[in-house]
Structure 1
Amino acid sequence: MIHFDDGVRTLVETAIRVIGPDAFKEARVFRDAFGRLGYCTQNPLSEEKAAELQAALADALGNWAYDEGTPVGPDSFAFDRLWEAPSRWEVIDSQAEGAEPIYVDLADRRIVGQDWVVVPERATDARPRRLVFWSVKGGGGRTTALSVLAASLAAESLNVLVIDADLEAPGLGSMLLEEHLVPKFGLLDYLAESGLVAWEDPDFAACVATSELTHKVGSRGLIDVVPAIGTATLAAPENMIAKLSRAFLEKPSEDGDPITVRDQLRAFVDRMAQRRQYDAVLIDARAGLSEFSASTLLGLSASVMVFGVDQRQTFQDLSFLFAHLSRLEQDAAERAEDWRRQIHFVESKSDKGRDGADFRNSLHEMLAQTFYEADEEGANFTFSLTDEEAPHMAARIHFDSSYTKFDPIADISVLKSDVYRAAYSEFLDRANAILLGRKES
């Protein structure tokens, strides 16, 4: 019996057996939304060879064969759509001793999650710079760290925009906005209505509010907060899940082409970042590998801080993401300005009595297996364990019991620099280097 993980190898081996070693020289594998696999080629096959391949694929793949194994060539109505679809590399290790791996172009068609197969937007030097906060699991202090960073920037008289993109577990708004300040709308409303309602200036203005907390600790900078949900949803909580189900959908454009969730989110962030002269935009992403995570991680031209605790499960779960990202197709120009360098790591809840070496070692081992390039000629993204410039040299946030129940509205002291610097200084130095170009101390 063929299972999902066996399918691509089975198709590749079958096509090479029927067509020969150049079967994928100008061809690709495609996988449809149900997981069925097919062979798409720019070179037309003879009727005899096409029939032979169709029969072989149908026999080898069974129910996993797209259109009973019929190959898709330039004359097929589906060819352009499949050939132009976003793709990633699939590496098939040859069973023959001493044989080279086979690199195959895989177009992964999906009902949802299409943003995962698009090359990430590279962070730019344009101001304000954007920083996304993400973790593979919740409970690692990601949102708390974002709030502390926002407070530290405001303490330097800088203006910050923070956006809660954790739609399924919103919290940033209630952390930084007292109840009377919560705006009418949040990001959820925009995404749920996108494609049907053209938001105007008053609508965008009604989904942001300025936190009063920093002024209570003497800061002169502003923290503007876009919550995930506003008072409209709080007043009608029965609509929350209904909005969620629509927020993650592609929407129709005027010309009929779909607007991806990634493009919708990007348009919203761009619009909100233009409201005033911000010095930084901080975005709290949904934890985990959901479809919406792809939009925030890969689609906002932002640097990304990946949070994790020193546990075996952290590195296992991160390996799923980075093994996937390593296969995204890039051309030479994209590699020259490598988006991989905008990913930074943070060890949260770090033990003050240890130097963080265990976390860095485990992170390096995982990245070396999934994300870093092999140390060979032509490689430009390879790092040794002790390389100080490497992504696995994670910044640390020390465990501090004062921040286990972070609620600055109830206890404003947690936003005072003399309190948070003890635990967050290393993280803040790294974030300031990313956002403001400062050297780390």
Structure 2
Amino acid sequence: MMATIRFHDALRQAAQALAHLELPAEPPVRVVRDLYGRLRFAVDSAQADYPVQAREQLQKAQAALGPYATSDELLFRESFSYPDKFFYQQNWLQTIVPMGSNEDGEPLPATEVLLLDRTVTGHDWLQPAQTNGRHAHRVVFFGLKGGVGRSTALCMVAWGLARQGKRVLLVDFDLESPGLSGLILPTERVAEYGVMDWLVEDAVGQGDTVLQGMVSASPLGETTQGAVRVAAAMGSQESDYLAKLARAYADVPSAHGPQRLGERLRRMVEALEVREQPDVVLIDSRAGLHDLAAAAITGLADTTLLFATDSAQTWQGYRQLFGHWQKRLKVVRKVRESLAIVRALTPKSDREGGVKRFQRKAYELFAETLYDAIPIGVVESEADYFHPIETDEAAPHFPILVDWDERFQEFDPGLRPEHGGASEAQVDATFGALIEWVSKRIQGDDA
């Protein structure tokens, strides 16, 4: 009885076939994976120019994928009206496919395939953007789940930077749970339009018409030498938010083909930066493995702060994300040095021991997924490898600490100390290390 092929088996079986079949070296055989995970081989050649024997081997290998084969028909140039559009699009990614283990349990060498992955969502996790000229340093605040103090930390970092004289722009990408404006903007201060309005208006060519009404000043900056400006998710006159949300993530047509969410949000942030001229942009990301987070982290961030607690859920979630990147080396090399992990809600009991355990787990996570594997006998300093040591305080895995303090669990950042709000000393005691770290990171741009 033939073994059942599952989703995770199909690509491995296809890659294994390509590695062992006697096929021409050029052009290489590519793999297309459709919305259901079904696979098809594609060759950038006319069918008549490709050897008959190689064609027959590929058809047999494709058919062997069972329910994860679309058919035994291969894709050649004549399969498309405009073959160059198909074969030369940017969405082809060199992808590492793990081959599993041998009978003795020893890992087999991974192989690579050129993969075009058709997905409903998640495109932006694998599409790091190219920087378009100089811009204010963009810091994304991200967490796998809510309740870790991410938004409060963002507000306190904004205040800390404004105290240094910085003009800070906050942008709320948490469209499905908008709340940043509620933290630092009184109702009467919320701007007329929000990020959601820009997305739906941009889809019909009117995004520029709402830009001037998207940003308002937070009272948080009034006691500082700088300013805190906020682009909220929701505008002040909102009455149809859910109807807009149902349309916000759609691709929109453009002269160069469909424009995805990540590209659209990048245009919006760039337009806001032109209007606001901030020194730094802080983006409150949607929590979880969501397209909004992907757009922020891979499409916009100069720095991404990964909020984490020492829980199995945290480590498992980040390992899934890093493992997804790990299969695409070009993505890993563009993303990893922008990351920094934040140990959120650091307990005061056994603080030193807890921090060391967290640091060890963070190092193991990065070392096993995003850092380069250094071959035995090679001295890292003598080769081009990125693999910081565990105690390297400048490394992505080295935790920035935010202490647990119950006064910030139901905290109103807009309250001044005389009205029950936190003092500068109290904020610095809890968030000072994070504020200082972000400040130095920004200063590094000007060095």
The TM-score normalised by the length of structure 1 is 0.88
Aligned to 1:209: 216
Q: Which moved more, 1:73-82 or 1:419-428?
A: 73-82
Per the alignment, residue 430 of structure 1 pairs with 437
Q: Which of residues 51, 76, 81 in structure 2 aligns to 1:73?
A: 76
Structure 2 CA distance for partners of 1:130 and 1:322, relative to 1, 3 Å? same
Please report how far the alpha carbon of residue 297 of structure 1 lies from its aligned counterpart in structure 2 after TM superposition: 0.8
- SS state at 1:258 partner: coil
**Match of 1:359?**
358
Corresponding position of 2:13: 10
Corresponding position of 1:174? 182
The one of 407, 413, 417 aligned to 2:412: 407
Tell me the residue number matched to 2:344.
348
Measured against aligned partners, the alpha-carbon deviations of 1:2-50 in whole angstroms (never above 9, x if no partner) come to 1111110111223445435x77972222211221111123355323432
1:252-291 map, 5 Å: 252-253=253-254, 255=255, 257-291=257-291
* C-alpha distance in structure 2 between counterparts of 1:267 and 1:317, whole Å: 29
Alignment of 1:41-190 (within 5 A): 41-42=43-44, 44-58=49-63, 60-66=64-70, 68-77=71-80, 79-80=83-84, 81-84=86-89, 85-93=91-99, 100-121=109-130, 126-190=134-198
* CA distance in structure 1 between the partners assigned to 2:117 and 2:372 by the alignment: 23
What is the RMSD of the two structures over their aligned residues, measured on CA atoms?
Answer: 2.6
Distance 1:260 1:434 in 2: 29
Q: Secondary structure at the match of 2:77?
A: coil
Number of equivalent positions:
423
> Do the aligned partners of 2:192 and 2:237 also contact (CA within 8 Å) in 1?
yes
Question: How many Å separate the matches in 1 of 2:415 and 2:386?
Answer: 45
The secondary structure found in structure 2 opposite 1:243 is: helix
- Counterpart for residue 392 of structure 2: 387
Question: In 2, distance between residues paired with 1:383 and 1:106?
Answer: 30
CA contact 2:122–2:294 (8 Å) conserved in 1: yes
Q: 1:265-303: CA deviations, max 9, x gaps?
A: 001101111223321111100011012211111101521
Q: Structure 1 vs Structure 2: percent identity of aligned residues?
A: 30
CA deviation map 1:205-231 (0-9, x unaligned): 21111012332xx32321111100012
Whole-angstrom distance in 1 between the partners of 2:6 and 2:431: 46
Asked whether the 8 Å contact 2:219–2:414 carries over to 1, the reply is: no
Deviation at 1:94?
A: 6.5
In 2, Cα distance between the equivalents of 1:402 and 1:12? Answer: 54
Q: Which residue of 1 aligns with 2:34?
A: 32
Counterpart-to-counterpart distance in 1, 2:343 and 2:147:
13
How far did residue 438 of structure 1 move? Answer: 9.6
Contact 1:214 1:415 (C-alpha < 8 Å) held by counterparts: no
**Equivalent residues of 1:402, 1:414 under 8 A apart:** no
Say which SS state the counterpart of residue 134 (structure 1) adopts: strand
For structure 1, which segment, 266-275 or 82-91, has the greater mean C-alpha deviation from structure 2 after superposition?
Answer: 82-91
Cα distance between partner residues in 1 of 2:226 and 2:34: 50
- The range that moved more, 156-165 or 72-81, is 72-81
Q: In structure 1, what is the Cα distance between the partners aligned to 2:207 and 2:181?
A: 21
**How far apart are 1:329 and its partner, in Å?**
4.6
Q: Tell me: CA distance 1:33–1:2, structure 2 relative to 1, closer, same or farther (3 Å).
A: same
Q: In structure 2, do the counterparts of structure 1 residues 37 and 288 end up closer, same or farther at CA, with 3 Å as the change threshold?
A: same
Find the partner of 1:397 among 391, 396, 402: 402
Contact 2:168 2:278 (8 Å CA) reproduced: yes
Q: Secondary structure at the match of 2:114?
A: strand
1:185 to partner: Cα distance: 0.9
Secondary structure of 2:341's partner? Answer: strand
Structure 1 residues 122 and 392 mapped into 2: Cα distance closer, same or farther (>3 Å)?
farther
* Native 8 Å contact 1:155 1:219 kept in 2: yes
Within 1, Cα distance between the matches of 2:445 and 2:56?
63
Matched-pair contact (CA < 8 Å) for 2:192–2:213: yes
What corresponds to 2:323 in structure 1?
323
Aligned to 1:308: 308
Q: Does the 8 Å CA contact 2:414/2:421 hold for their aligned counterparts?
A: no
1:298 aligns with 2:298: yes
Which whole-Å deviations, capped at 9, do the CAs of 1:378-410 have from their partners, x for residues lacking one?
Answer: 452112222333211110000001101122345
d(CA) in 1 for partners of 2:88, 2:256:
20
Note if contact 1:308-1:347 (Cα within 8 Å) is conserved in structure 2: yes
Structure 1 residues 170 and 12: CA distance shift in structure 2, 3 A? same
Q: Per-residue deviation at 1:178?
A: 0.4
Task: State the secondary structure of the residue aligned to 1:330.
Answer: helix
Gaps of 5+ in 1: none
